[in-house]
Amino acid sequence: GENVEQHPSTLSVQEGDSAVIKCTYSDSASNYFPWYKQELGKGPQLIIDIRSNVGEKKDQRIAVTLNKTAKHFSLHITETQPEDSAVYFCAARVFNKFYFGSGTKLNVKP
Amino acid sequence: DAGVIQSPRHEVTEMGQEVTLRCKPISGHNSLFWYRQTMMRGLELLIYFNNNVPIDDSGMPEDRFSAKMPNASFSTLKIQPSEPRDSAVYFCASSFSGTLSYEQYFGPGTRLTVT
């Protein structure tokens, strides 16, 4: 089955700086790559996604890039704010099953 | 829409007891997923349904776990008998499985503690 690896496991940045989280996947049949933000005590919240036929997608301060050849995709958060502090998960969809990375705990220091 | 609804939000039970977790997916969604989240293993897919039919239950840990989806708006995950190692947060998620939309939305989860 699909294997999704996510790095780093923890990331600490200063408010206003950028944060980048990277994921790799193994199954070339993966066609959809969502990113989730999970705050303490809550369920994962979909924040941005990208399909396999698109290389980049942006939504205000967050963006996702996809390199199908290398089988990796990344989440970019610019101008980070304290409320961005949370655990972020990447995922890959293969035949309607979603495989998740192990998560990145992002800490934005004010 | 109210989003995916799960109940109860917290469940504390003793080893050996039966536990039933409930989920109401987003109206119009035809796929439903049950996940388990622990610190050690992260987010694990237990089972998923498409059009109320179980498609893949390879993630169900053992026969103590069972899931049903009697109709498009309700699903249950049952553990009988429960064990301390079942303690985790259980999430239900739903999506519309089609060529135009793949987004999967999670419920708030049920935190299960088995003593």
Nearest CA of chain B to the CA of A73: how many Å? Answer: 17
Task: Give the pLDDT confidence score for residue B1 in this predicted structure.
Answer: 66
Question: From B43, which residue of chain A is nearest by alpha-carbon distance?
Answer: A100
Interface residues of chain A, partner chain B, Cβ below 8 Å? 31-32, 34, 36, 42-46, 49, 51, 89, 93, 96-103
Q: Over 90: is that where the pLDDT of B102 sits? A: no
Number of Cβ atoms within 10 Å of the Cβ of A107 = 14
B109 CB neighbours in chain A (<8 A) are 42-43
pLDDT tens digits along B45-83:
999 999 999 999 999 988 999 999 999 999 999 999 999
Using the CB atoms, write b or e for A41-68: b if 16+ within 10 Å: eebbebbbbbebeeeeeeeeebbbbbee
- Say whether B91 and A36 touch across the interface (CB within 8 A): no
- Say whether B106 and A89 touch across the interface (CB within 8 A): no
- Say whether B45 and A97 touch across the interface (CB within 8 A): yes
CA B48 vs CA A57, A83, A87, B65: distances in Å: 28, 32, 24, 13
Average pLDDT, chain B: 94
Mean pLDDT to the nearest integer, B14-25: 98
Q: Residue A95 — left, alpha, or beta (φ > 0 → left; ψ -120 to 50 → alpha)? A: left
List the end-to-end C-alpha distance of chain B, in Å, as a whole number: 36
Distance CA B58, CA A27 (A): 18
Q: Is B54 exposed, middle or buried (0-12, 13-18, 19+ CB in 10 A)?
A: middle
**A77, A84 in Cβ contact below 8 A?**
yes
B residues 23-62 closer than 8 Å to A (CB): 31, 33, 42-43, 45, 48, 50, 55-56
pLDDT tens digits along A45-78:
999 999 988 899 999 999 999 999 999 999 999 9
Distance CA B39, CA B13 (A): 20
**B108, B23 in Cβ contact below 8 A?**
no
pLDDT tens digits along A78-106:
999 999 999 999 999 998 889 999 999 99
Scan for tokens 């893949």, then name that residue: B56
Is the CB of residue B4 less than 8 Å away from at least one CB of chain A?
yes
Cα dihedral A3, B105, B43, A110 sign: positive
Cα dihedral A57→A110→B38→A21 (10° resolution): 30
Task: Give the pLDDT confidence score for residue A1 in this predicted structure.
Answer: 79
How many contacts does A have with B, using Cβ atoms within 8 A?
47
